[in-house]
């Protein structure tokens, strides 16, 4: 492409960081996505951004899909293109946004993997044998008790927990939203044991032996280690405990609105995936129990 097109791209990258203040990984992804699209334009002999038409974007997306690129990645690439062209429109460098009405292939909804109740109980009833494992058990109890996201757990401070009422406050939820969540008795007990052994004097609930707030990566590694130690064959990750919390609660209560509120989902359609899990469970019971369901 023409040097003018390169200059527009660099200005946009600066705009992302200085004015939009996007996260580093978002900026990196957008830069990579747009440079890839620029290479496509070079092959198509499109020298300026204003020469790109809707059909060019569609051809690019079709090519990516044909090459086996996943729907989520393509959606992000389209988001990068739309954002870039909004910037070009704002700075009067183009007259229209060729990516605005181009749709990505539909994402196939994969059901989240959950542990069954017996697996959860076995994992959480194991006895810790060190200060670190006392901390770990408190973290895992809290994941399952309150359905926290990983980012929400590591950002918890002591002031966020009300032991007398059995509640915690999430101050750093997705999209900056706050919510209040109940804490189960087992999780409260595990927290109290941890806080009696917790090193340091900072505000973070979950810290290292040096008293520093735990990173998300540390929690992931400790959970996987705990699972392997306690007989869980599959790879465990924090979101699996959140999924298990939601699935088990919905299965017992049938109250999808309450589960939505507890998970902090803005849209109930996000929560509805757990109704599919519940149906799968019912279907499995039916297949095992109903005399007319068995295949010959």
Return left, alpha or beta for 81; rule: phi > 0 is left, psi -120 to 50 is alpha, else beta: alpha
The β-bridge relationship of strands 161-162 and 179-182 is unpaired
User: Is 265 part of the annotated catalytic residue set?
Assistant: yes
Euclidean distance between CA atoms 140 and 134, whole angstroms? 10
Q: Where would I find the beta strands (DSSP E) of the chain?
A: 161-162, 167-170, 179-182
User: Is 12 part of the annotated catalytic residue set?
Assistant: no
Question: Is residue 86 exposed (0-12), middle (13-18) or buried (19+ Cβ within 10 Å)?
Answer: middle
User: Is 242 part of the annotated catalytic residue set?
Assistant: yes
Euclidean distance between CA atoms 146 and 219, whole angstroms? 16
Length reported for the chain: 296
User: Is 174 part of the annotated catalytic residue set?
Assistant: yes
User: Could you tell me the two tokens for 93?
Assistant: 């460098």
User: Could you tell me the two tokens for 194?
Assistant: 């941890």
Euclidean distance between CA atoms 85 and 78, whole angstroms? 11
C-alpha count within 13 angstroms, C-beta hemisphere, residue 195: 15
The catalytic residue among 149, 198, 222, 248 is: 149
The catalytic residue among 58, 76, 225, 239 is: 239
The catalytic residue among 60, 85, 144, 274 is: 274
C-beta separation of 157 from 258 below 8 A: no
The catalytic residue among 64, 198, 242, 248 is: 242
The Cβ of residue 47 has, within 10 Å, a number of other Cβ atoms equal to 14
The catalytic residue among 72, 174, 254, 276 is: 174
Q: Which residues are catalytic?
A: 149, 174, 239, 242, 265, 274
């Amino acid at each position: 492409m023409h040097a003018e097109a390169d200059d527009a791209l660099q200005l946009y990258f600066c705009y992302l960081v200085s004015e939009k203040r996007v996260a580093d990984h978002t900026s990196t992804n957008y830069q990579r996505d747009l440079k890839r699209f620029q290479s496509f334009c070079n092959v198509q002999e499109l020298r300026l951004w204003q020469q790109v038409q809707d059909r060019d974007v569609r051809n690019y997306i079709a090519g990516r899909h044909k090459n086996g690129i996943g729907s989520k990645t393509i959606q992000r690439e389209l988001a990068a293109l739309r954002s870039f062209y909004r910037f070009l429109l704002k700075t009067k460098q183009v007259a229209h946004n060729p990516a605005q009405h181009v749709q990505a292939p539909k994402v196939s909804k994969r059901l989240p993997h959950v542990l069954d109740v017996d697996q959860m109980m076995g994992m959480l009833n194991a006895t810790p044998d060190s200060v670190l494992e006392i901390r770990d058990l408190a973290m895992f109890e809290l994941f399952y008790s309150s359905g926290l996201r990983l980012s929400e757990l590591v950002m918890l401070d002591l002031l966020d927990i009300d032991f007398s009422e059995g509640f915690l406050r999430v101050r750093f939820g997705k999209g900056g939203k706050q919510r209040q969540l109940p804490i189960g008795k087992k999780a409260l007990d595990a927290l109290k044991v941890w806080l009696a052994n917790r090193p340091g004097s900072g505000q973070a609930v979950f810290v290292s032996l040096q008293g520093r707030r735990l990173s998300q990566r540390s929690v992931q590694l400790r959970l996987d280690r705990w699972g392997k130690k306690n007989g869980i064959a599959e790879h465990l990750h924090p979101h699996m405990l959140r999924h298990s919390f939601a699935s088990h609660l919905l299965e017992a209560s049938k109250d999808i609105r309450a589960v939505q509120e507890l998970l902090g989902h803005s849209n109930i359609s996000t929560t509805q995936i757990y109704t599919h899990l519940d149906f799968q469970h019912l279907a499995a019971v039916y297949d095992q129990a109903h005399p007319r369901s068995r295949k010959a």
